[in-house]
Structure 1
Amino acid sequence: MSRSQAATAADATATAGGSRRAVAVVVGVVFLDLLGFGIIIPILPFYVRSFAISDVFIGLLAASYSLAQFVAAPYLGRISDERGRRPVLMLSVGAAGVAWLVFGVAAEVGAAAGTTAAVLTLFAARLLAGAAGGNIAAAQAYIADVTPRESRASALGLVGAAFGLGFVFGPAIGGLMASDGVVALARDVLPGVVPATRFSLPSFTAAGLSFLALGAAAVVLKEPDRQRAPARRVTFVSQFREALADAAIRPLVLSFFLTSFAFAGVQVMFIPFLADFFGYDATGAALFLTYIGVLGTINQGVVVGRLARRFGPRRVVLAGVGSLFAALVVLAVSPALAGLVPPLGGPTWLTGGVVVLLGFATLASFGNGALTVGLATLVSERASADAQGSAFGVTQGAGSLGRTVGPPLAAAAYVAVAWSPFAAGALVLLPVVALLWRG
């Protein structure tokens, strides 16, 4: 091998190593940020109820996060194209830390200024956190910048795995920080001016993780070497109009909306369905959610990337639609299916209902993972090099809109006919096949 060939090989090896480190840093930042978000999940309903207000506000607070994310994601994506990925990621995780601090002191605001002020504080915190959550577009664009096309599915899958891990470990940490023993210990250790309650401690922990992510990004995250888009004045509506006018991106925007709409409704109504038809309490439901989260991490971090390299991202997305469609149908008829499963023997908890629900969870986890990673990979392939952030911002915004609209409609449908939101979600997925069938 000549010296020039050896130097070229060494440069390629160094570049690959640098890309892997960059991907690892971004995934780590995303994980810490999402871990903070996951911590809030188990305390949110009880926090709302502590103010003696309607449970309707639980749904409204959930929707407010997705709505803010929907509005912010395209802007953050565009800014990351023009000003850089690193500053957008740092600003957003710092804003998330501030949001969770504000969220944690809502009870103190209520004690000083009344319930209305407390509720407004909760909404302000959730809106700011949701806007910061739009940084996923910049994170995905960063990874697209530093990885070759053939490796993007696996790299983007790691972001999905970070999501899964955040939802696996976050609620567990939140529950621990809200436990009586930890609260009592915190009251003994912390200064009296720091509120130590089962609501404030998880919130402050989430804030601490966001600030940790900010510090990590400041120290080790480097701006990728890429061609930047020229600065231009754009509006929220104009970005969506441009994306929908692009024949390559339009099917992906619509697919993100439809798949998020379908799956978000299922996420909201799954636990009530378990309680009403299978007699599960919160602990039993949490075990199923953990199972789905663990499977999701494996699927998005390992399985889907390998399938995409072998069969292509479009086929992976179509397989994901089929898997999620089957999962929703199984869930809709699961009470009837459970009675058809013959006795299996073994442990007493392994009932027909458990078998059917495990089947649903397995199908849903693969389907959601394949859709998340496959669609993101298609976006990275179809968007131009200087518009990756904008493309991811618009598609993630469409997904956030689906997560804003889907849960309230699914809840209303559940009240009318319990199985209807799952059947409707399956039907909503069918247009995705038509949108992507021809590539």
Structure 2
Amino acid sequence: MTHPEAGAASISEGTPDVGDTEGSTPAVTNPRRALAVVIGVVFIDLVGFGIVIPILPFYVRSFGVSDAFIGLLAASYSLAQFLSAPYLGRLSDRLGRRPVLLASLSTAAVAWVVFGFASEADAAFGTAAALATLFASRTLAGAMGGNIAAAQAYVADITPPEERAGALGLIGASFALGFVFGPAIGGLLAADAVVARADAVFPAFVPATPYSIPSFAAAGMSLLAVLAGHRFLEEPRRNRTAGVRVTFVGTFRNALASPTLRPITVAYFVVAVAFAGVQVMFIPYVADLYGYDATAAAFLLTYVGVLGAMNQGVLVGRLSRVVPSRTLAAAGAALLACALAALPFTAGVGRGVAVGGPTWLTGPLVALLVVLATLSLGNALVNVSLATLVSTSTDAAGQGAAFGVTQGAASLGRTVGPPLMAVLYTVAYASPFLVGALLLVPVAVAFVRRTG
């Protein structure tokens, strides 16, 4: 189904080969329906993930520990994802996309349930036990979070090359929509009225807190995604032949040896490190400088999600038809760098100056909304463009492995970035965002040079 760029080599020499289905029987009975189903499954899963985001920093702070633990907790998720993504990608090449997706979603549901019981562990055994519970849960969830490689490979299996950027953009849009509905749901579930109602109906052994209720809802969304996938997700038909197994290190070595995949893999890593400041410290930032609680922060995340859905689902797909992916990646990195550099200064813009409209619509909030819109557009351009470049830089046999490696590189970046950015935040709140902006400059320059 793919037409690799000249000189591109498969990175999955030890994975089963997947025959090119172009010009033969379609990979699935109804490609449009299959695309809709996998997008729906990813969306449901990401709603569950998004539910927990606005409450996570407050959950960590409830145990009276340093904000550095927010970064370490995020790093534990990403480290597990880094280790699992290449394996899950290659496993999906060998065993199939569908079983890998369903098994990972089922295990993620267990992880979210464990996450909700951290407060109970604190009450019974102390803070150390509570933190251990959080880390165990997030590590397990991260290991299963590598399933995005299988989802991206599924899309590559069922779409022709000329439509792939738009299809991968829809996967990105499902992520964005998950962050539209997920944080909003999580913020509402953390509200006092909901907690009081849940406390009245939950059994005595089930905790009802602003942190446990969103966690249990996330588990329910993962299980819903499993049911939807089991009922509607069709396994793509692919020709497979036996091959020699490649080690974890060998998979990355093959990717870095490919002249087409190497810069993309490095870009995934650097972008993830740079963006970690926003991913990890945005909610503490708006809590500390704007005075927002979990519910207010959730609405900001919903706003970003709405913009991301429009950017990735509509705008980037249309741009990709007329603008080369490398050019879009360069523009996205530049926009993202500008947004990160401006973000820490929004709280001081127009403070005390009336902007008209509702009383809550202040100058700092308007500045924040503008910067977040720029950040969303830059992030959409980078993510979709890099994913498209991956799909055209490897042959049909290595789609799952290629996406596994690049997602693994991004996970490694999210492993390194969060602890670094969290520590920087405790020193100076602006520093994680400014450092992230500086890291993105060479990425933008590199893609500009490759388009020249």
**TM norm. shorter chain > 0.5:** yes
Q: Structure 2: how far apart are the matches of 1:190 and 1:271?
A: 29
Contact 1:81 1:229 (C-alpha < 8 Å) held by counterparts:
no
* Alpha-carbon distance between aligned partners in 2 of 1:353 and 1:178, rounded to the nearest angstrom: 25
Distance 1:347 1:193 in 2: 44
The alignment covers a number of residue pairs equal to 428
Give the match's secondary structure for 1:233. Answer: coil
Point out the structure with the larger helix share. Answer: 1
1:381 is aligned to 2:381: no
Match of 1:359 among 349, 355, 370: 370
Contact 2:27 2:238 in 1 (8 A): no
| Structure-1-length-normalised TM-score | 0.88
Q: Deviations over 1:362-382 (max 9, x none)?
A: 211100001111100110111
Residue 321 of structure 2 is aligned to residue 309 of structure 1 = yes
Look up the SS of the partner of 1:41 in the other structure: helix
Query: Within 1, Cα distance between the matches of 2:66 and 2:281?
Result: 18
The residue number in structure 1 matching 2:16 is none
Aligned residue for 2:30, secondary structure, equals helix
The 1:46/1:275 distance shift into structure 2, 3 A limit, reads closer
SS at match of 1:42: helix
Structure 1 residue corresponding to 2:68, chosen from 52, 56, 63: 56
TM-score, with normalisation over the residues of structure 2?
A: 0.86
List aligned pairs for 1:123-138, cutoff 5 A.
123-138=135-150
Q: CA deviation at 1:49?
A: 4.2
CA spacing shift, 1:231–1:186, aligned 2, 3 Å: farther
Alignment match, 1:403? 414
Amino acid at match of 2:109: G
Q: Please tell me whether the aligned partners of residues 347 and 365 of structure 2 are also in contact (alpha carbons under 8 angstroms).
A: no
Closer, same or farther: CA 229–74 of 1 in aligned 2, 3 Å: farther
Q: In 2 relative to 1, CA 202–135 (structure 1 residues): closer, same or farther, beyond 3 Å?
A: same
| 1:239-258 C-alpha deviation (Å, 9 max, x unpaired) | 11111111110011001111
Query: 1:127 and 1:342, CA in 2 relative to 1: closer, same or farther beyond 3 A?
Result: closer
* Local SS of the residue matching 2:102: helix
- The CA RMSD over aligned residues, in Å, is 2.9
Q: How far 1:229 sits from its partner (Å)?
A: 6.0
Query: 1:290 maps to what in 2?
Result: 302
Q: Bigger relative contact order, structure 1 or 2, given CA contacts below 8 A and separation 6+?
A: 2
Q: Is the 8 A contact 1:300 1:370 kept in 2?
A: yes
Q: Percent identity?
A: 60
- Does 2:230 correspond to 1:218? yes
**Per-residue displacement from partner, 1:234-275 (whole Å, max 9, x unpaired)?**
322221111111111001100111111111213333344445
Cα separation, 1, equivalents of 2:382 and 2:356: 36
Matches within 5 A, 1:18-417: 18-228=30-240, 230-274=242-286, 284-331=296-343, 333-334=345-346, 338-339=349-350, 349-417=360-428
* Whole-Å separation in 1 of the counterparts to 2:409 and 2:170: 21
Unaligned runs of 5+ in 1: 1-10
After superposition, the Cα gap between the structure-2 partners of 1:277 and 1:411, relative to the gap in structure 1 and judged at 3 Å, is same
After the TM superposition, list the runs of 4 or more consecutive aligned residues in structure 1 that deviate by more than 6 angstroms: 11-17, 340-343
Query: Structure 2 counterpart of 1:59, which letter?
Result: G
- Measured in 1, the distance between the counterparts of 2:253 and 2:397 equals 18
* Range moving further from structure 2, 238-247 or 404-413: 404-413
Aligned to 1:5: none
